[in-house]
Amino acid sequence: MKLTETAADMQGNIRSLSGDDHFMNRITSIGLTEGTPFRTVRNDKKMPVLIYLRETLIALNRADAERIEVDAR
């Protein structure tokens, strides 16, 4: 499932990241790497996706969140 499909308070792990080198450098530099546990804080339509991982609250624009596959539970 894509990160944009998760609901608030859903937890899981980052399964895969896909994108060009610029995207991969940017996204991994803020701590999003494969296998990292996360919790979705907020995911409202047409708003950034808010996730909590590595003791940090991160806002991702929807285009970037579409490139992130997750295993949610």
Task: Please tell me the predicted confidence (pLDDT) of residue 73.
Answer: 82
Task: Please tell me the predicted confidence (pLDDT) of residue 58.
Answer: 97
Range of the domain at 31: 3-72
Question: What six digits make up the tokens of 53?
Answer: 């991982």
**CATH number of domain containing 13:** 2.30.30.90
pTM more than 0.75? yes
Task: Please tell me the predicted confidence (pLDDT) of residue 52.
Answer: 98
Mean pLDDT confidence for 54-64 = 96
Q: Helix H segments across the chain?
A: 21-29, 62-66
- Domain tally for the chain? 1
Q: What is the mean pLDDT of the chain?
A: 96
Angle at the Cα of 14 (from 12 to 15), degrees rounded to 5?
110
Mean pLDDT confidence for 3-17 = 96
